Chain A
Amino acid sequence: MSRAVPARQSRLQVLALGTTLVVALLGARVAVLGLARSDAPPAGGNALAAQRGALWDRDGVVLATESYDRYDVTVDTATLSDASSAAGALAGILGLDPLEVAALLAQPTGRWVNLAWRATPEMAAAIDGLGLVGVATAPRQSRVYPLGDLTGHVTGFVDLDIQGHSGVEGFYHDELMGFAGRRPGTYRTDPLAYVPPRDGADLVLTIDVDLQAAARAALAKEIADQGAEGGTVIVLDPMTGALLASVSLPDYDPNRYSAFAAEPRRFIDPAVGSIFPPGSVIKPFTLAAGIDAGLLSTGTTYNDTSPYRFGGIQVVNPDRTSHGVVTMHEMLRLSLNVGAAHVAGTLGPERFHAALAAFGFGSPTGIDLAGEVDGMLYAPSDDGWSEAYWALSSFGQGMTATPLQVAAAMATLANDGRRMVPHVVSARIGPDGIAQPVPPRMAAQVVSPATAQTMRRLLADIVASKLTEAAVPGYGVAGKTGTSEVPSRFDPSDNETIASFCGFLPADAPRAVIFVKVDRPQEDTTGIHVAAPLFRAVAEAAVQTLDIAPRAGIAMLGGAP
C-alpha cells in the first residue's frame, strides 16, 4: 500500500505536465491566430481578382494586357489613430484638399474610405513611407493598350469597372474576364475556404499590326490630301474570312477613352457599326446574281438608254449619256446604272433581293466584334417597299451596308462563291497555356465557282483596262469602284460623295480582299481618283506583309472575257 502513493504522485505530475503542455500549445496557437488576425483583411474583402486575358496579334504583338502601375489608397477609419494629421499628410502627397480629406475621414460613410484609385507608384511609395496604421496602398488592375489608337477600334476598351466595351473587349468580355477566387478565409488561415481565381483566356487575333499600321498611314494621308471627313480600310483573307486589318479614322486611343466621352460616336467602329450607301461597288454582285441564275452571260447585250424608266424612277448613268447596245462585260467596265437596273429587272424583285441577301447584305456578317449592325436591304415583303428600292439597290443607292459587308461579299467572289464568316479571333489560349484554334466557318455557297471565276475575270479586266490607279505592278488585281452620293454637310441642297473601292489580289488566286472608303472628299469626289490610289497603297503593303508572290492575273484566268 505504501508503494502506491509515489506512483499516484508521479501520474499526477505527468498529467499536470501534459495539461500544461496542452495549454501552452493552445496558447501558442491563439497567439499565432492573433498575429494573423492583426493582419486585417483589405478593403476589397477576400475576393481574389482574376487576370483579364491579353490580346495578341497574329505574330505575337501585345495589343492589350493588364497593368498594375496605378494604386488604390484606402484608409481603415476604425484603426486610424490620428485622422487630422493623417489627412494633411495624405492630401499633400495625393494633391487633394486637406480639408476635404479631413472631412471625409472624420465622417466616413463606411469603415473603409478610398482616397485615390489612380495614384502613381511614387505617391504609393511616399504614403507607405509615412507608416500610418490604417492606411493601405494596393496596386490596381487596369487595362493597357500598348499600340494605342492603332488598333483602338478593333480591341475596344475596358472601363474602370473592368467592363469591356466595343470591339473584341466588348464581344469577348465574359471569356476575357475569367472568374474571381477567394482568399483562404477571413484571417488567411483556412485553406478550405480558398478558391483559386480562374484567369480569363488570352485571345490571338487575326490582325497583322504591320499591315494595320501601313493601312492607317495610307488612309490618314489620303484623308489629309482629299480634305475628307474620315475613311475606312479593311483587309480580309477571302479563304478563311480572317480580318487582317481594320482601320477607320477618326479613331480613339483606348488608353484614354474618357477623353472622348463627349464624342460617343468615336467608340463605334465604322467598319462594322456604320452604314453607307455602297454605290457602284454593288454592281458585281448584281451581275453575278444574273449570271448565276442562268439568265445572263458576260456577252449578253441590252440597249442602254439613259435616262431609263424603271421601278417608278428615272435611272441615269453616271456620265449622263446613253451607250446604245452594250454587253454586260462593258456595262460593268463602264459602271452603267441603266445596265445594272436591266439585270435587276431580268431577275425580278424577289430573286434579286434573295441574291443580295445571300451575299450577306441586310444582315450582320457574324463577325466577333461588338456593335455590328445589319444595314438596310428592303425586301418586297417589307412594309413600305416600292419598286424604286428594287431599281436603286441594283447600283447600290437604295440600300445601305457596312464596309465589312461589302468586303465579305467581295471575298465571296474571290473564294469561288463560298461566303466565309468574317472573324477576328484565331485562337484562344486558356489559363493552362493550351491554345485552341478557332476554325473558319463557311456561311453559304452563294454562287457557283464558275460564276465567281467569271466575275473575277471581269473585275480583273476592269482594273487592267480602266482602273490603272489601283493596279499593283507584277500582280493581277481585280476590283470595282463605288461613288455614292450623300447629302452635303454644308448645303442640304447639294451632295457630297463617299468614294470607295473593293478589290482583291492576286486576281487568279486571291490572298487579300481590300476595301477602302473615303468619306466626303473635297479635292476630288470619285472612287477612281480617291479610293483606287488608296487601294493600291494598301495592296502594296499587303503584298509585303503577307508575303504574296507576284502573279499576273488576266492571262492565268484564260484571257480577257
Chain B
Amino acid sequence: MIARPALPAPVRPDVGASTAHRYGTATLVVALGTACALLWVTIANDLATRGLRINEMIGRRQDLTMQRAGARVALGIASDPRRLAERAVQLGYGPPDDVAIVIATVDDGATFAPQPFADVPDADSPLALWLAGVQHGDARVRPWYAQLMAIDGWQAQPQAAAP
C-alpha cells in the first residue's frame, strides 16, 4: 500500500482581537436595531389599537345615539296633548271644553284656587273618590279640624278615674 501523504490541516481563520471587536460591534448594532424596531412596533401597535378602540367607541356612541333618538321620538309622540286628550276621552273623562270649575270656600270666606274635575268615570278610581264629595256633596268644605273632630271616637274622652 502506498501510504497517502497526510493532508495538511485546514487553515482556521485567525480571529484576532480586531475581528472580535467588529463582531461585537455588529452584534451591538443589530441588537440596538432590533430594540428600536421592537419599540417602534410596540408604539405603532399601541397607537393603532387606540385608533381601533376609538373607532369601536364611535360605533357604540352612534348606537346609543340612535337608541336615544328613538326614545325621544316615542316620548314626544306620547306627550302630544292632543293624543292625551283623546286618550282621556276614551277612558271616560270629559273633553277639556266640558271641564267644570268648582270654587270651594271655607268658613272664613277664603277662596281656594279653582280645581277642575271631570265626570266620574269609575268608582274605583282614586280621582273619583276625591271628586265624589265635591261633586255631590256640600260645596262648602269644612275646616280640617272640623273634619277631624267628626271622626267617631276622636272626641276627647274623660280620663278614667284612678282606682
Contacts and interface: CB of A to CB of B under 8 A. Distances in A.
Given A15-B31, A67-B69, A146-B79, A188 B41 contact: no
Interface residues on B, range: 35 or more
Interface string A1-32: 10010001001000100110110011001001
Contacts of B52: 36, 184, 188-189
Given A15-B27, A18-B30, A188 B55 contact: yes
B129 interface: no
Q: Which of A36, A62, A145, A543 has the most CB of B within 10 A?
A: A62
Contacts, number: 132
Contacts of B85: 213
Contacts of B114: 474, 543, 550
Interface stretch (B70-78, B131-139, B149-157): B70-78
Contact of A8 (B23, B48, B73, B77): B23
B96 A62 contact: no
B88 interface: no
A488 interface: no
Interface in B46-83: 47-48, 50-52, 54-55, 58, 62, 65-66, 69-70, 72-73, 75-77, 79-82
A184 B41 contact: no
Nearest to B114: A550
A147 interface: yes
A322 interface: no
A54 interface: yes
A373 interface: no
B147 to A, nearest CB: 24
Contact of B73 (A26, A67, A549): A67
Contacts of B82: 150, 213
B37 A62 contact: no
A545 to B, nearest CB: 9
Contacts of A193: 51
Given A68-B69, A213-B85, A550 B30 contact: no
Given A29-B45, A32-B48, A184 B38 contact: no
B113 interface: yes
Given A547-B113, A550-B113, A190 B76 contact: no
Interface string A517-554: 00000000000000000000000010110010110000
For A15, A26, A146, A213, the residue with the greatest tally of chain B CB atoms inside 10 Å of its CB is A146
A124 to B, nearest CB: 13
A22 B27 contact: no
Contact of A147 (B37, B66, B76, B99): B76
A213 B88 CA distance: 15
A146 B65 CA distance: 17
B121 interface: no
Given A65-B69, A209-B81, A550-B114, A4 B20 contact: yes
Given A19-B34, A36-B52, A62-B72, A4 B15 contact: yes
Interface in A50-86: 51, 54, 61-63, 65-69
A201 interface: no
A194 interface: yes
A191 interface: yes
A144 interface: yes
A291 to B, nearest CB: 34
A485 interface: no
A430 interface: no
A33 interface: yes
Contacts of A550: 103, 111, 113-114
A311 interface: no
Nearest to B96: A214
A145 B6 CA distance: 105
Contacts of B92: none
Contacts of A63: 76
A116 interface: no
A50 to B, nearest CB: 11
A283 interface: no
Contacts of A380: none
A379 interface: no
B116 A544 contact: yes
B73 A62 contact: yes
Given A188-B52, A474-B103, A547-B113, A147 B69 contact: no
A488 to B, nearest CB: 33
A21 B33 CA distance: 12
B66 A139 contact: yes
A188 B27 CA distance: 38
A185 B15 CA distance: 53
Interface of A: 1, 4, 8, 11, 15, 18-19, 21-22, 25-26, 29, 32-33, 36, 48, 51, 54, 61-63, 65-69, 139, 144-147, 150, 183-185, 188-194, 209-210, 212-214, 473-474, 541, 543-544, 547, 549-550
Given A146-B73, A213-B85, 18 more contacts: A21-B34, A25-B37, A29-B44, A61-B76, A63-B76, A66-B72, A67-B73, A68-B70, A139-B66, A144-B69, A188-B52, A189-B47, A209-B79, A214-B96, A541-B96, A543-B114, A547-B113, A550-B114
17 contacts: A11-B27, A29-B44, A29-B45, A36-B52, A62-B72, A65-B73, A67-B70, A69-B70, A139-B62, A144-B69, A147-B76, A150-B82, A190-B48, A214-B81, A474-B114, A550-B111, A550-B114
